[in-house]
Amino acid sequence: MINGIIGRKIGMTQLFAADGTVTPVTVIKAGPCVVIQKKTAAGPDGYNAVQLGLVDEKPVRLKNVTKPMRGHFEKTGGGTPPTRILKEFRLEDSEDATNVGDKVLVDQFADGDAVEVIGRSKGRGFAGTIKRHNFNRGPESHGSMNVRAPGSIGASAYPSRVIKGTRSSGHMGDARITVKGLTVARVDAENNLLMIRGAVPGANGTVVIVKKAAERHKRTR
């Protein structure tokens, strides 16, 4: 059984309960997805997995697909349309009943399910150590020349070099982020919407992967 789905982050909103309780949620348009390829441990791939394609509202024209990808989609027998987004999901059992061309919908989730969301964080460009690594600033008294500088980054005598991995300024964000310990607040199967309690990584409109959590993680914040 496929334990996840591909979607796009729409944005954040609030859900109001009957007693007036407000729950902040992130709305994700999850699917519909279609199985493009199936891999088995007995086959040349050596492991069990399926490749899902996210079906967008605006279909992809076959003439706009590259020749290698066109051949990849034609292997399905022509029953599945080309898709822009392809992601692979592992399967636990090689005898899984999932076949090429099957649809994967948001109704596999239910209210209260524990999930984890994989996305790409917003790119912040070049950032200093205070913004990037939460460093403290130096004193701003008269004569101070180390207000936002990182300070010493290595010893002079030994080892006489900067240790690899030292936190410094540089490119911030634009990285693959996995957030665990999230909960499904509401499922709208009719509109393919998944409302997850809390925030998920990425800007609005970016592609995210929602997976069912193997175990429930307790969020620390």
Kindly tell me the burial class for residue 208, based on how many C-beta atoms sit within 10 Å of its own C-beta (0-12, 13-18, 19 or more): buried
Same domain, residue pair 166 and 142:
yes
* Whether the Cβ atoms of residue 4 and residue 89 lie closer than 8 Å to each other: yes
Q: Are residues 153 and 185 in the same domain?
A: no
Site of tokens 């913004």 = 131
Q: Are 66 and 18 in contact (CB under 8 A)?
A: no
User: CATH number, domain at 42?
Assistant: 3.30.160.810
206 domain-assigned: yes
Residues 183, 136 share a domain: no
Rounded to whole angstroms, the Cα distance separating 208 from 196 reads: 12
CA 193 centroid distance within chain: 16
Neighbour-count burial for 9-39, b at 16+ CB within 10 Å, e otherwise? beeeeeeeeeeeeeeebbbbbbbbbbbbbbb
Q: Given CA atoms 195, 196, 199, 204 in this order, what sign does their dihedral have?
A: negative
Shared domain for 144 and 155, answered yes or no, is: yes
Work out how many domains the chain is built from and give that number.
2
* In a shared domain, residues 204 and 105: yes
The reply to whether 148 and 207 lie within a common domain is no
Based on the fold, state whether residues 107 and 206 are members of the same structural domain: yes
| Closest by Cα among 148, 120, 143 to 132 | 148
Residue 31 counted as domain residue: yes
In a domain, residue 219? The reply is no
Domain contains 150 = yes
Do 22 and 107 reside in the same domain of the chain? yes
Q: Give dist(CA 8, CA 58) in Å, integer.
A: 14
Asked, for residue 220, whether it belongs to a domain, the answer is no
pLDDT at 123: 92
E strand or H helix that includes residue 71: helix 67-74
Q: Which domain holds residue 13?
A: 4-123+174-212
Q: What is the pLDDT along the chain (221 residues), one digit of tens a residue?
A: 788 899 999 999 998 988 888 999 999 998 788 888 888 888 888 888 888 888 887 777 777 888 888 888 877 766 677 888 888 888 877 666 778 878 888 888 888 889 999 999 999 999 999 999 999 998 888 888 889 988 888 888 888 889 898 999 999 999 999 999 899 999 988 898 999 999 999 999 999 999 988 765 555 44
Strands 114-120 vs 22-30: parallel, antiparallel or unpaired: unpaired
pLDDT of residue 126: 96
Identify whether 23 is part of a domain.
yes
Whether 88 and 131 share a structural domain: no
On whether both 118 and 85 belong to a single domain, the answer is yes
Q: Is residue 49 part of a domain?
A: yes
Q: Where are the alpha helices (DSSP H) in 124-178?
A: 129-133
Between CA 71 and CA 25 the distance in angstroms is 40
Which sign does the torsion angle of CA 158, 159, 160, 164 carry?
negative
CA distance 85 to 207: 8
Residue 221 located in a structural domain: no
Query: Hey, what are 40's tokens?
Result: 């088995």
